[in-house]
Amino acid sequence: MCSNSSSSHTSGKHPIHQHLRELLETARAHPPNSLLRRKYLNQLILAIQKSNRLYRGGASPEHYQEALSMTWLYVVRSLDKYDPSRAEVLTWINFRLSKDIKTVQIKATKEAKRRLNWVTAEDESRSPVDRLPARQDAQWVLTQLNQWLQNSSDELISLHVRGRPDLHCRQMIEWHLLAGDTFQTIAARENSPTSTLSSFWYKKCVPQLQEFSSNLL
């Protein structure tokens, strides 16, 4: 799959295709892991990036960069498998990039749902997050969560550990859910008993997250 900007340049007539093919053939003419292969591989990757013909796919910047790194690794490992009779270099790479973007988005979606399921339901099969449509990817869920944290800031800040107004639900959600810090880590950092933080989390913060996840449907 290719972006619209590149689909009209796959006939092989544009000079970029010949240039990329020459760089690729020159690179794989040298032994794997050799300095010369690396040199021409770097030139190939740089030329592709400058061509402005890489598939975009609508992914978030973070997901796109992760997928792009996977694609470059694939190119390095699969250079000798490229068949110029089947596709142009850009077509070959863009097809792989589209697959890697999907892989990253699926992984991120599962992770976002896992984290929310973990704090919103004892039985994950009944979690409201589990019933989210598949199209709601991790970026959408996290965007909604961040908006909710902003919109509900006053209410979440009002819910805090007794005697510690700095340890409120909004802060705990950012640390424990979004950053993945354990209660032990937070307790040591903030000089508060682990049991106190754990009790506060489940009694005050989890009900707020349950309400948030229910409203996502």
Determine the pLDDT at residue 141: 74
Report how far residue 121's alpha carbon sits from residue 36's, in angstroms, rounded to the nearest whole number.
55
Cα–Cα distance between 129 and 114 in angstroms, integer? 9
Distances from the Cα of 187 to the Cα of 131, 175, 194, 203, angstroms:
34, 11, 5, 17
pLDDT of 215 reads: 75
How far is residue 12's CA from residue 22's CA, in Å, rounded to a whole number? 13
Per-residue pLDDT in tens (0 to 9) along the chain, 217 residues: 444 444 443 444 678 999 999 999 999 999 999 999 999 999 999 999 999 999 988 777 878 899 999 999 999 999 999 999 999 999 999 999 999 999 988 887 676 666 666 555 544 444 444 444 444 555 677 778 888 998 888 999 999 999 999 999 999 988 888 777 889 999 999 999 999 999 999 899 988 988 887 776 5
- Supply the pLDDT for residue 118: 56
Q: Which two tokens stand for residue 83?
A: 């068949």
The CA-based dihedral angle spanning residues 33, 36, 42, 43, taken in that order and rounded to the nearest 10 degrees? -160
Predicted pLDDT at 184: 92
The pLDDT assigned to 145 comes to 84
At 197, list the tokens: 């933080």
DSSP labels for 158-209? HSEETTEEEEEHHHHIIIIIIS---HHHHHHHHT--HHHHHHHIIIIIHHHH
| Nearest residue to 167 (alpha-carbon basis) of 176, 117, 143 | 176
CA distance 217 to 99: 28
Burial of 157: CB neighbours in 10 Å, binned 0-12, 13-18, 19+: middle
Looking at residue 161, its pLDDT comes to 96
